[in-house]
Amino acid sequence: MTVFSDAEARHLQLVVNAGGQDVVLKVRTDTTPTANTPTITIVNHAFKAIISGYKTGEEGSLVRASDRKATISPRDLTVVPSIKDRLEIGSVDHEIIAVKQVAPSGTNLLFVLQLRA
């Protein structure tokens, strides 16, 4: 049995009940047929996410003070987010620095993305 931290449990409850803020996941796929003609395809996926900041020392020294956290329910996604993708909040694109999948007993309950503008 996996135990959630209090923060993960609160975020899951917020995502399920409140729905969160409108965001767009921009999934980037390299469709380069050869090394000489780079081509990147971007497909947008709109859904809702809970956006918050990090507490000091919450995730260690790899988190900057300006980094944000997006908590997403997998039921809202048809793809798995990766660090190649971008998340648009409002009109600002954020780089995805890290993706944490919360999946007790193999059941994916949510994704937590570390974001940097």
Q: Counting Cβ atoms within 10 Å, is residue 39 exposed (0-12), middle (13-18) or buried (19+)? A: exposed
pLDDT values of the chain reduced to their tens digit, one per residue, 117 residues: 445 566 666 666 666 666 678 999 999 887 766 666 667 788 998 888 889 888 766 666 678 888 999 988 887 788 899 999 999 999 999 999 999 998 877 778 889 999 998
Q: From 88, 76, 1, select the one nearest 42 (Cα to Cα).
A: 88
* The overall pTM is greater than 0.95: no
Structure-token pair, residue 85: 């993708």
6-116 CATH, one of 2.40.10.270, 1.10.760.10, 3.30.505.50, 3.40.50.300: 2.40.10.270
Residue 52, strand partner residues = 69
Cβ pair 112, 100 in contact under 8 A: yes
Q: Counting Cβ atoms within 10 Å, is residue 19 exposed (0-12), middle (13-18) or buried (19+)? A: middle
